Amino acid sequence: MFLVDIRELLLKDAMIMDLKASTKEEAINEMVHQYFVTGVINDEELYKKDIVAREKQSTTGIGDGIAMPHAKDKAVQRATVLFAKSEKGVDYDALDGNPVHLFFMIAAPEGANNTHLQALATLSGLLIDPALVAKLKKAKTPDEVHQLFADAQAQKEAKDKAEEKKEAQQTTTPASSDRPYIVAVTACPTGIAHTYMAEEALKKQAEAMGVDIKVETNGSEGVKHLLTADEIRRAAGVIIAADKKVAMARFNGKHLVNRPVVDGIKKSEELITKAVNADAPVYHADSAEEEEGDDAGGSIGSKIYKDLMNGISHMLPFVVGGGILMALSFVIEQFLGGPKSIGFIFLNNAGSLAFAFMIPVLAGYIAESIGDRPALMPGFVGGFMATVYSGSFGGAYTANVMTNAKSAAGFLGGIAAGFIAGYLTIFLRKLFSKLPKSLEGMKPMLLYPIFGLLLVALIMFFIVNPIFAIINTWVTAFLNHMGTGNAVLLGIVLGGMMSIDMGGPFNKAAYVFAVAAFTSTNNGNLMAAVMAGGMVPPFATAIATAFWPKKFTDDERKAGITNWVLGFSFITEGAIPFATADPLRVLSSCIVGSAIAGGLTQFWKVSVPAPHGGFWVTPLATNAFGYIFAVVIGAIISGVIMGMWKQTKETAK
């Protein structure tokens, strides 16, 4: 028996039986506001932000006229499901492209207990039943909705009891010889709705096809129906319907279908057919992630970008933390204690040590993204070889990692090391794939580490380091001898790129280029350009919302206030909500101001010897006033353009 009646979650007062919205944004606003009015949430902006963030991962419009937007955060006061019905339908970017008529907005508090989470999971599973959905579309009152779910829950309880008895029998006796047996795992990022809808869809379809199935769920309440080693062994195939990582090593040697969780809901018959017929690749625990799925795809460019971003995302904490501590040490050196003060020595050493890991971490996680765990070690070592000329370790051993090279390969060499290590690991995996099964355990523990390291070290020592040392020398000479006109032009380009996609590929490309130049030359000119360009968007939105408030919604005006702080700290992403709502006006305005700011830093010969920090590292700038004025001028220009160009919001309050 379930400990919570689903009707306790479906508050009558929160139901909207005639949703007025005609767009996705309006529907979310209307439902979130209803939650706020009924006291389910105490922070409308926070809850809406998390709802929108979940929609960006993938639409919760699952098709068949149903959407299940959901969020779990501290704004929620009690676990609740808001039922809303739209007669005319809402274009909600549903997976099947059809309008949505039934909405179930799920609100779960951060500390939601397992009882409520189980009830939410049960409700999600019930919505797979087309008969219930059809009746809900005809319901006119909250009382009718309550009764429909009460009847459906009673049927679900009876069915689950029968399934539990059946599963208990399967664990003690072999699967029926005349019925195929498969196992599955479902999981989604929040673990509230899609996880359990996929579970229910797979179970219903398996029953209709005469297939025995056990489904493990990785949801908010933890792992349920955990698959045992014996169940996995007996299964003809495995289905993974998940949008987050699940424990995979246990499926080594099984035919495995790996798809997004929504395919578990919408394409359950196809997945079960593949699993039953062993029409899927055999999964190997040491295989790369991109080979796990049977439908791996995407362009070469997108794959390279994903691998590079995996390295950069792991590298950034080292850049930010190490860079800021180094910057603070220089402030102490210049203004407080000098180069021999304990404050300078401590902070500079701590920052330098973190900064020293930057390129090895970048290379290691690029390699890991390509070749999975066996590529991590050779990637790290290759990245380290790109950063040092010689180093004494413990006083007994000296590592001289270059030949015919007068400088380190640097940032670009580290990127090359990561890709080389990753693809070499894939090559080694294919090379050793024909070894006898008795030697299978030797591959990850002996063969991959030895041959991976040997090959990467040879390539870095004799090829990459000499070549990239020459390239870095050329880049250094070019930057040092670049005239003012060329410097301004480069500053304009880099500054503008920071606003093109605000954290996306263009933004990251400009930032990576500036960091590469900084690590190669110790010259912070281009860092000043990208930081100034990156600070303009949040400042511009703050200015526009302050001086043209009627042209922005109440939520946007609140975000504008926050963006004063984000801009000061070089957090460009604060402008993303504005760009999402009105990309043409916001992005165009910001690109103009960012380009001007980037160009001015070069015209005034501003240099900032820190890879992050915004205005917090102003004391380090060679021309502090030029740095400040460049950002202020760019932000004002962008803010004025944006404010004058924006249209007045009718709903603004």
Question: What residues act catalytically?
Answer: 70, 188
Gyration radius of the chain's alpha carbons:
29
CB 187 within 8 A of CB 156: no
CB 375 within 8 A of CB 422: yes
The token duo for 175 is 């699967």
**What's the helix, strand, coil split of the chain in %, to 5?**
60, 10, 25
140 alpha carbon, distance to own chain's centre? 40
The token duo for 246 is 């699940």
CB 521 within 8 A of CB 474: no
**Cβ count within 10 A of residue 142:** 18
**What is the rounded CA–CA span in Å between residue 241 and residue 194?**
10
**What is the rounded CA–CA span in Å between residue 409 and residue 249?**
36
The token duo for 48 is 């809406």
What distance separates the 2 farthest-apart alpha carbons in the chain?
Answer: 82
Nearest to 363 by CA among 464, 284, 285: 464
CB 538 within 8 A of CB 503: no
Residue listed under structure tokens 């792991």: 314
Which residues, including other chains, have CB under 8 Å from residue 57's CB and lie 6 or more apart? Answer: 189, 243
CB 570 within 8 A of CB 608: no
DSSP calls for 460-513: IIIIIHHHHHHHHHHHHHHHHT--HHHHHHHHHHHHHHHHHSSSSHHHHHHHHH
Residue listed under structure tokens 């992403």: 573
CB 205 within 8 A of CB 268: yes
Give 328-335's long-range contacts (Cβ < 8 A, gap of 24+).
Answer: 330/609, 330/620, 331/619, 331/620, 334/619, 335/619
β pairing state of 222-224 and 70-73? unpaired
CB 54 within 8 A of CB 69: yes
CB 30 within 8 A of CB 20: yes
Q: Is residue 504 left, alpha or beta, with left meaning phi > 0 and alpha meaning psi from -120 to 50?
A: beta
CB 348 within 8 A of CB 367: no
**Alpha helices, DSSP H, located in 277-341:** 300-335
**What is the rounded CA–CA span in Å between residue 121 and residue 222?**
12
**What is the rounded CA–CA span in Å between residue 203 and residue 373?**
34
β-sheet bridge partners, residue 214: 183
The token duo for 25 is 């944004």
3-state secondary structure at position 571: coil
CB 52 within 8 A of CB 93: no
**What is the rounded CA–CA span in Å between residue 256 and residue 554?**
49
**What is the rounded CA–CA span in Å between residue 407 and residue 520?**
9
